[in-house]
Structure 1
Amino acid sequence: MEKPAGMFDRSFEWAELARFAGQRGPEATLGVVSGRRRQGKTFLLDALVRATGGFMFTATETTEADALRQFGEALADHLGEPTPFRFTHWDEAITQLMRVAAEGRPKTVVIDEFPFLARTSPALPSLIQRALDPTAQRSNTPVRLLLCGSALSFMGKLLSGNAPLRGRAGLELVVPTLDFRLAAEFWGIEDLPTAVLTNAIVGGTPAYRREFVQGDVPHGRGDFDDWVARAVLNPARPLFREARYLLAEEPDLHDAALYHSVLAAIADGNAARGGIAGYLARKSTDLAHPLGVLEDVGMVRHEPDAFRRNRSAYRIAEPLVTFYHAVMRPVWGDLERPGRASAVWGRAAGTFRSKVVGPHFEGLCREWARWYAASGSCGGTPSRVASGTVSDPVARTSHELDVAVFGQGENGGERLLAIGEAKWQEKVGLGHLRRLQHMRGLLAARDQGGADDTRLLCFGGAGFSDELRRAAEQDATVQLVDLERLYYGE
């Protein structure tokens, strides 16, 4: 089954969906498709249904009776029935659904926004499980049932633990955001600094380019500030309130004020739980639940420290949410007044570059080291990349390390392959290199995987000094990674 011509990337996802939809066999089968909102899941599944002549039902937030009525009407219309089906319970609806395929001809059936149905009909997963049992399969037809949803906490539990559908699915597909390289290609941005700045706001969410800004793309660095004012900070554009809606759309986030405050603390640079607690004037133990919920719904990532097992960092997973809390939320009243965007942005641009772009650029550098760097660049094949804290007992201080790359050692254990420093605004020079050399020595002395041949990675958004370039030419352990290499090289 050929991928539709207008579909960007998603070759892996399309191939897996096509494989599932085309499986031979008389039994009905189940697949689950999930992912954060606006990633194109519905677009993918709609294309699959069109290509296979299948049936797609998109649920809405409504009562069980109304959902059954909508489902009965949609199914009857698809089958060409003269009158709608009148189901009194989902047990009847699922039984009928499992019989819609012709004998020997698989039919794709998609239930989109499945969490809406399960919220008002909690027994629905159990009813689907019963319909897939061997005894029920005798009356089933080869339906290829796909359940899709964006509520990550719900979808993640659908097939886990003792859930009714555990072990029933033949496909468990997560549709990810586009990474920074694909995002630049998708947005059509060739100027790399502009690509980084844009990615720091909208990330890799496809819908933000197509539906939300309708193809309005920043045309180079000279247009970026104007683009932010007209497309992001403009109260008449959808992106303006999108970060708020992302939080409101998550059913597990009941205390919106608390969760917004936690995200604001992280966006302000507080990555550790203690720092977040201090920002909110709360006890650290009080944050275990809200941080756990934010992690479950995909809003926050919990990243262990590279060198301290008892230390970790919390980072916001959606760039637009970081941008909202760091830049927009503090001046929301001004931004809501039309015509104020340019003036507000002029005052907030410095905050954007320090609290949004700087940390985001560090994340891109870690992503490059994990997935794009050649073994020669890091001194081996990376298996884990993280940021970390290096203790300096003599100076009685500690040093923050932006990038730490680990791989497999000769004895099968983990070995430190490379450490790196990432600077977005300032030119990287010999001082930064000496700092990395000092940390390499500290790690080697503490026997934490450090060694004399550990590579030193210098990531420079603004380039490198001539002295550093000459030092890198003379020392093979020093690797310089500029934007060109970050986006196109190894």
Structure 2
Amino acid sequence: MFTATESSEADALRQYGDALGAHLGESTPLRFANWDEAMTRTFTLAPDGPLPVVIDEFPFLARVSPALPSIIQRALDPAEQRSNTQVRLLLCGSALSFMGGLLSGTAPLRGRAGLELVVPTLDYRAAGRFWDITDPRTALLVNSVVGGTPAYRHEFTQDDTPNGPEDFDAWMVRAVLNPARPLFREARYLLAEEPDLRDPALYHSVLAAIAEGNTRRGAIANYLGRNPSDLNHALRILEDVGMVVREPDAFRSTIGDYRIAEPLVTFYHAVMRPVWGDLERAGRAARVWPRLQATFLSKVVGPHFESVCRQWTRWEADADLLGGYAHRVAAGTVADPAARTQHEVDVAAFGRSPDGREELLAIGEAKWNETIGIKHLQRLKNIRDLLNAKPSVHADTCRLMLFSGAGFTPELAAIADTDPAVQLVGLGSLYG
């Protein structure tokens, strides 16, 4: 296994020769004049059977040696091989857009790969188990900050886990907002790792706009004082590198919301970036964090909770609860012409009827820090009536789902006990 570093081509070849020589037990390091020689030698390493050869951080090598993918392609070409190689070459890298491009279109390695594996982060349930957090409320709060990246559990927080809800604020101060911990600056470095992001100031500004709740293209442009067309390239690049995702509106696919894919980036831009100067001074976090908590709950936890509710509805909810199998779940907006307004729907689950039509199985509202009661149910009923009036939406049996991180009123619970069309989902169900 060889892990590349940011270096020149000559230095990278020297490091590769050192690593290969050490693997072979050579008394002196191997020296290669170019990558042709290095790859030719590499593919002769397995005379007796299959051997995995791993090159990690491959984008560092290809950035200073653009011909390297073509050299590997030629080495893999049967016509170029003196014998059928048993080497199994694994090229790894964290730059999503670059690694995806290795096998796309007319790229040299297209058609040569036996496996293309994108390793996703842990989902919210697996992340809770990975962090050894049994309390659902604490698990979701932690997940809204660090997401599901495994490295943040050990290397970046030094195995520091909150002991429960009462320890969460103290954990934020000592583990997340502590300038001495690696996690403190991680969100700033994530952009620097992507070679396609050549204007960091613009991309940070776009991410800040989205973190502030400006999720539509026009709203992002207004926040930055630009024309919407000026952001086409920046948004496309951020999508390509996996930093943001565009989620089509549940009821109008021509429009959509941009959301940041990595929770830590959302947390940085919404909470840390505006007070970065204060947080950089050691010992200030304990004084700064109390005044950041309202922003944290509204800009970070609230939207993240809505996203988790959509994930649960799509992948965990029983078909009996929804009245069918959900093949699509999204957020959306519903126009109310009479009131000249729009209503936001946090969760909209769609299934298929026996004749193949798409039908609306359920709509839902999610509130993290608010006890949900009758008024929330009535709001969903009004939205359902508006949807039933649309010929394009089949919502005849649409169920009403209410998600809460703070609980439900007794009156609402009594209705849900007798009406299967009303479903209440709390933290216990989300993490059950």
TM-score normalised over the length of structure 1: 0.87
Could you tell me which runs of 5 or more consecutive residues in structure 2 were left unpaired when the two chains were aligned.
Answer: none
Residue of 461, 475, 483 corresponding to 2:419: 475
Structure 1 residue 124 corresponds to structure 2 residue 71 = no
Residue of 120, 135, 141 corresponding to 1:197: 141
CA deviation string 1:74-93 (max 9, x = no partner): 11211122222221111111
Residue of 66, 80, 95 corresponding to 2:11: 66
- The code of the aligned residue for 1:65 comes to A
Q: Distance in 1 between matches of 2:364 and 2:225?
A: 34
- Note the aligned Cα RMSD (angstroms): 1.1
Partner residue of 2:79?
135
Q: Distance in 2 between matches of 1:413 and 1:171?
A: 36
User: SS state of the match for residue 236, structure 2?
Assistant: helix
- The code of the aligned residue for 2:130 comes to F
Residue of 344, 356, 367 corresponding to 2:300: 356
Partner residue of 1:91?
36
Structure 1 residue 425 corresponds to structure 2 residue 372 = no
Q: Distance in 2 between matches of 1:452 and 1:434?
A: 17
1:16-55 correspondence runs (5 A): none
CA deviation string 1:108-162 (max 9, x = no partner): 1000000011111111111111111121344242111100000111011111111
Partner residue of 1:173?
117
Contact 1:87–1:93 at 8 Å: present in 2 too?
yes
Structure 1 residue 82 corresponds to structure 2 residue 27 = yes
User: SS state of the match for residue 353, structure 1?
Assistant: helix
CA positional deviation for 1:410? 1.8
Structure 1 residue 296 corresponds to structure 2 residue 240 = yes
My pick for the range that moved more, 330-339 or 360-369, is 330-339
The structure with higher relative contact order (CA 8 Å, sep 6+) is 1
Contact 2:359–2:395 at 8 Å: present in 1 too?
no
Q: Distance in 2 between matches of 1:205 and 1:165?
A: 29
User: SS state of the match for residue 106, structure 2?
Assistant: coil
Partner residue of 2:155?
211
Aligned residues: 432
Q: Distance in 2 between matches of 1:439 and 1:161?
A: 44
Partner residue of 1:40?
none
- The code of the aligned residue for 1:286 comes to D
1:232-271 correspondence runs (5 A): 232-271=176-215
Contact 1:436–1:456 at 8 Å: present in 2 too?
yes
Contact 2:358–2:394 at 8 Å: present in 1 too?
no
Contact 1:388–1:403 at 8 Å: present in 2 too?
yes
Contact 1:441–1:450 at 8 Å: present in 2 too?
no
Q: Distance in 2 between matches of 1:483 and 1:85?
A: 58
Q: Distance in 2 between matches of 1:214 and 1:66?
A: 33
- The code of the aligned residue for 2:162 comes to P
User: SS state of the match for residue 323, structure 1?
Assistant: helix
- The code of the aligned residue for 1:189 comes to I
Partner residue of 2:173?
229
Q: Distance in 2 between matches of 1:236 and 1:63?
A: 31
Contact 1:99–1:140 at 8 Å: present in 2 too?
no
Residue of 104, 109, 129 corresponding to 1:185: 129
User: SS state of the match for residue 115, structure 2?
Assistant: strand
CA positional deviation for 1:73? 1.6
My pick for the range that moved more, 445-454 or 251-260, is 445-454
Partner residue of 2:260?
316
User: SS state of the match for residue 54, structure 2?
Assistant: strand
- The code of the aligned residue for 2:237 comes to V
CA deviation string 1:359-403 (max 9, x = no partner): 000000000011111111111111111100111122221111101
Q: Distance in 2 between matches of 1:95 and 1:140?
A: 12
My pick for the range that moved more, 440-449 or 221-230, is 440-449
Misfit runs of 4+, over 3 Å: none
Q: Distance in 2 between matches of 1:77 and 1:235?
A: 38
Partner residue of 1:31?
none
Structure 1 residue 415 corresponds to structure 2 residue 359 = yes
